[in-house]
Amino acid sequence: MRLVSIDMLKPDMKIARAVYNQGALVLPAGRTDVARYISNLRNMGIEYVYVEDNKSEGIEIPDAIAEKTRTSCKQILQNTIEQFSISDKLETKALEDCVTSVITEILNTPDIQVSLNDIASADEYTYTHSVSTMVYALMIARKLNYSEPKLAVLGMGTLLHDIGKMLIDREVMFKEGELTQKEYEYVKMHSLYGYQTLRRIASLPEQVRLIAYMHHERIDGSGYPQGLSGDELNQLIRIVSIADVYDALTTDRCYRKKWPANKAMDFLVERSGKEFDPVLVGLFTQQLAVYPNGSLVRLSNQYMGIVSKQNKSMPLRPFVRVIQDAKGNDIVPYEIDLMKELCVTITESELEISRNKPAISPDEL
């Protein structure tokens, strides 16, 4: 299996993971002849899909939780929030069950380097983002040996961290292109709106509400809404801020394309010790694949290949299945282990190849 830009879809590829839009199945797994869906996918804001083809046969892309769990959590979150906006009652039971099932899976998943890359249409972004951010946050927390009740608070807080966006005008929320300063200030209100919304639900722990309120704070005081710093931000908030930014950067948005995993990790590492807690950034990045399985890479000898397996001790040197020579000709694929071929390195990752440099993002909302 591999992840390809929809511009690179070829007739011999078949969909490896189903594509959904607003809970509805758009492209089932196994569908061939996918090129004719390109414009549909693009209209939904989907730029990448997982495919199976001869070149990527046998390559597995590990996820921290099962696809079924992820899809059902997203659906439960969406239904719960839509129901809440009509009835003003938040059915927390279904959300609690979904948090519990994710915690159980994460605690039982072997410690491997994962790449999530869930595919989200623009309309579903907030739900997909909330579930992925929860998974990332719980991955960090499992390294801290949190008790299950503490993981449950973190999970629920992360799942609801952007609930305030529901009160932001759709036109501004999904605006293509850069926000004006005024619009940006308005969107920032989502953390306060989130807190106020969650205060209406008496059964929620205060810490869940505080995650919604403070997830954009940074330990050097550069965040919002209050510009809190240092010890004013507890560990749960610090975890969510890292998970939130990483997921936002690695997902397509209406105003920019997603960043490759290695760039998003560099972003966190560069800011660790300033905006982000360095210990937590370390615990997080050690669990992520720098060059995820299934991604296309260019090697220093100009050959192209697909990452096929990770080398845990050397994340920058995975196994690569070489598929193209330096002149761009397809070749009979063969596998190399970059931990053994020390004179070859990865020079570019997929997204850089398909569209050159990623755009610089505004601070993630």
Q: Which residues bind Fe ion (CB under 5 A)?
A: 162, 244
Rg of the Cα atoms in the chain: 20
Burial class (CB in 10 A: 0-12, 13-18, 19+), 340: exposed
Task: Specify the residue, 63 or 244, whose C-beta has the smaller distance to Fe ion.
Answer: 244
Least separation, in Å, of the C-beta of 129 and Fe ion? Answer: 6
Burial class (CB in 10 A: 0-12, 13-18, 19+), 184: middle
Task: Specify the residue, 162 or 350, whose C-beta has the smaller distance to Fe ion.
Answer: 162
Least separation, in Å, of the C-beta of 190 and Fe ion? Answer: 6
Q: With contact defined as beta carbons under 8 Å apart, do 194 and 164 qualify?
A: yes
Least separation, in Å, of the C-beta of 133 and Fe ion? Answer: 6
Least separation, in Å, of the C-beta of 248 and Fe ion? Answer: 6
Task: Specify the residue, 118 or 162, whose C-beta has the smaller distance to Fe ion.
Answer: 162
Least separation, in Å, of the C-beta of 215 and Fe ion? Answer: 6
Distance CA(156)–CA(349), nearest Å, equals 34
Question: Which ranges in the chain belong to alpha helices (H)?
Answer: 38-43, 67-87, 92-108, 125-142, 148-159, 170-173, 181-188, 190-199, 206-214, 235-249, 261-271, 278-285, 350-355
Task: Specify the residue, 47 or 244, whose C-beta has the smaller distance to Fe ion.
Answer: 244
Task: Specify the residue, 142 or 188, whose C-beta has the smaller distance to Fe ion.
Answer: 188
SS3 296: strand
Task: Specify the residue, 31 or 224, whose C-beta has the smaller distance to Fe ion.
Answer: 224
Task: Specify the residue, 162 or 277, whose C-beta has the smaller distance to Fe ion.
Answer: 162
Distance CA(341)–CA(322), nearest Å, equals 13
Nearest Cα residue to 56 out of 288, 330, 307, 291:
307
Distance CA(246)–CA(267), nearest Å, equals 9
Least separation, in Å, of the C-beta of 151 and Fe ion? Answer: 19
Task: Specify the residue, 126 or 293, whose C-beta has the smaller distance to Fe ion.
Answer: 126
Q: Which amino acid is at 163?
A: I
Question: Which ranges in 215-356 belong to alpha helices (H)?
Answer: 235-249, 261-271, 278-285, 350-355
Least separation, in Å, of the C-beta of 95 and Fe ion? Answer: 16
Task: Identify the bridge partners of residue 348 per DSSP, sorted by sequence position.
Answer: 298
Least separation, in Å, of the C-beta of 4 and Fe ion? Answer: 26
CA distances from 175 to 72, 168, 184, 198 (A): 28, 12, 11, 26
Tokens of 18: 């189903």
Least separation, in Å, of the C-beta of 201 and Fe ion? Answer: 19
Distance CA(13)–CA(52), nearest Å, equals 6
Task: Specify the residue, 241 or 324, whose C-beta has the smaller distance to Fe ion.
Answer: 241
